[in-house]
Amino acid sequence: MSGIYWGIVTGLLAMVATLFLCVDILYGTQEGSSKAPGNGMDESEKAAGPAVKGSRQAA
């Protein structure tokens, strides 16, 4: 009975640790990317200016 209990406790602790690790990976990488442009466009796209809209532009 106690072996099953400790197995459940170990599994829950492993899931919580995995959750924290995934959150750290997802949100920890944003700190180091301060050199990258904020909106995901590189320099060549910024220099080109706004895109030319066709005749079917929404009002």
Q: What is the pLDDT of residues 9-57, one digit of tens each?
A: 999 999 999 999 999 999 987 655 555 555 655 565 555 555 655 677 7
**Length in residues, the chain:** 59
Calpha distance 31→52 (Å, rounded) = 34
User: How much is the pLDDT for 26?
Assistant: 92
**Concatenated DSSP letters for 1-51?**
-HHHHHHHHHHHHHHHHHHHHHHHHHHHTTTTTTTS-TTS--HHHHHH-SP
pLDDT at site 14: 98
Mean pLDDT, range 3-7, rounded to an integer? 93
Instruction: Give me the long-range contacts of 53-57 (CB less than 8 A, separation at least 24).
Output: none
pTM of the model: 0.46
